[in-house]
Chain A
Amino acid sequence: DVKVTQSSRYLVKRTGEKVFLECVQDMDHENMFWYRQDPGLGLRLIYFSYDVKMKEKGDIPEGYSVSREKKERFSLILESASTNQTSMYLCASSTGVWEKLFFGSGTQLSVL
Chain B
Amino acid sequence: AQTVTQSQPEMSVQEAETVTLSCTYDTSESDYYLFWYKQPPSRQMILVIRQEAYKQQNATENRFSVNFQKAAKSFSLKISDSQLGDAAMYFCAYCCGGSNYKLTFGKGTLLTVNP
Contact = CB atoms under 8 A, between A and B. Distances in A.
A94 to B, nearest CB: 9
Interface residues of B, number: 22
B95 A41 contact: no
A98 B96 contact: yes
Contacts of A33: 103
Given A40-B107, A98-B95, A105 B44 contact: yes
A43 B105 contact: yes
A102 to B, nearest CB: 8
Interface stretch (B45-53, B67-75, B79-87): B45-53
Contacts of B108: 42
A106 to B, nearest CB: 5
Interface in A82-112: 88, 90, 92, 97-98, 100-101, 103, 105-106
Contacts of B45: 90, 92, 101, 103
Interface of A: 33, 35, 40-45, 48, 58-59, 88, 90, 92, 97-98, 100-101, 103, 105-106
